């Protein structure tokens, strides 16, 4: 069974609290929260204070994705703000600091995760697979919503599922980028069990039906 993690980048910011409540009422159990610093990716979004505010008003699982440089500088604040999962990019720092950041996240009672951009091979995160609870494969270039799904990422997704089955089978494998009702099935067929959807979910005519279809 898959899990839908709606991306709040596509929510209505003028009615954010209501949209979060509606997202839960629609049947979603997770929320995907993209944090962008304008350096690692060419866009800006929320900070840890936003995550802290979200934590006060929802009991949904907060799936926080740090698209920022040197995440070791900020991971503790996001953990304390209320993230349930905190994922960091392997490309964002040195291997030594990536490992230290994942260990720090775990020590603070939050589930750590590792992310790969489209041009990063699966082997780049092999050493971290035993120590994470979530692996996120980007099927678009990170930084903007509404991009077209990169189907050629599926071999990498499948490779990572095989690698995880050998060293950490309980780890979630997540896909983010261009996920809709059609591409979600392709992702699930290649090993994904968590699907991030933004515009496809928030723009769906029947959001509860969208959740049920993704999670079937």
Looking at the annotation, which residues are catalytic? 34, 176
Q: Which of 47, 43, 48 is nearest to 145 (CA)?
A: 43
* DSSP-assigned letters across all residues of the chain: --EEEEBGGGS-GGGHHHHHHHHHHTT--EEEEEEEBSSSSS-B---HHHHHHHHHH--SEEEEEEE-SSGGGTHHHHHHHT-SEEEEEGGGS-HHHHHHHHHHHHHTT-EEEEEE-TTS-GGGGGGGGGG-SEEEEESS-TT-SSPPP-GGGHHHHHHHHHHHHHH-TTSEEEEESS--HHHHHHHHHTT--EEEESHHHHT-SSHHHHHHHHH-
Answer for the pair 176, 144: CB distance below 8 angstroms, yes or no.
no
């Amino acid at each position: 069974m898959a899990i839908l993690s709606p991306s709040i980048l596509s929510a209505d910011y003028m009615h954010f609290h209501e949209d979060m409540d509606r997202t839960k009422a629609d049947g979603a159990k997770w929320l995907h929260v993209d944090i962008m610093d304008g350096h690692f990716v060419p866009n800006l979004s929320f900070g840890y204070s936003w995550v802290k505010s979200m934590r006060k008003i929802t009991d949904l699982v907060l799936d926080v994705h740090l698209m920022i440089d040197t995440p070791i500088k900020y991971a503790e604040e996001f953990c304390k703000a209320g993230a349930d999962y905190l994922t960091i990019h392997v490309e964002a720092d040195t291997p030594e600091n990536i490992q230290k950041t994942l260990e720090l996240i775990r020590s603070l009672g939050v589930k750590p995760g590792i992310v790969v951009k489209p041009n990063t091979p699966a082997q780049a995160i092999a050493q971290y697979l035993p120590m994470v609870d979530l692996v996120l494969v980007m099927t678009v270039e990170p930084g903007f919503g509404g991009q077209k799904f990169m189907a050629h990422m599926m071999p990498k997704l499948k490779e990572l599922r095989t690698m995880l089955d050998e060293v950490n089978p309980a780890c979630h494998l997540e896909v983010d980028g261009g996920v809709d009702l059609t591409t979600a099935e392709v992702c699930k067929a290649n090993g994904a069990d968590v699907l991030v959807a933004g515009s496809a979910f928030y723009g769906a005519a029947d959001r509860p039906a969208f959740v049920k279809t993704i999670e079937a």
